[in-house]
Amino acid sequence: MEETNVTMTTEEMQGEPAAKENETKAEKFIRIGEYRMNKTVDAIGRLENLANHGSYEYTQEQVDAIFQALEGRGRKLRQGLCLRKRLRVRLSALVQQNRNVTGSKGKAVM
């Protein structure tokens, strides 16, 4: 019997949908992002089930810890996704500042 060598991408090993041939970075972001968002929404739904007072007992401190963890990770995600935009804004501000200092022809203004 012939043995075949099958390699899996990191995404496939994590259960994420397989990449399409010639997939752009934007398409990859959407493909993986949708998959991960759906998993996240499902996980939050399971956390919502913990609000059933008939089945669970918890303290306000425990509730606060859950929200602190979720909000902290949400902030990290937002910072990571917004970092590129902030860098572009800073770079364009530096370019504009340089134009103001050097004049429109690139020579220093005295």
Give pLDDT, residue 20.
Answer: 83
| Single pTM value for the model | 0.60
User: Mean per-residue pLDDT for 43-68?
Assistant: 97
Residue 109 pLDDT class (50, 70, 90 cuts): very low
DSSP string, 4-47: ------HHHHTTPPPPPTT--HHHHHHHHHHHHHHHHHHHHHHH
Residue 101 pLDDT class (50, 70, 90 cuts): confident
Residue that is written with structure tokens 């990859």 in the block: 28
- pLDDT over 50 at 6, yes or no: no
Q: Which amino acid is at 36?
A: R
Q: Which amino acid is at 93?
A: A
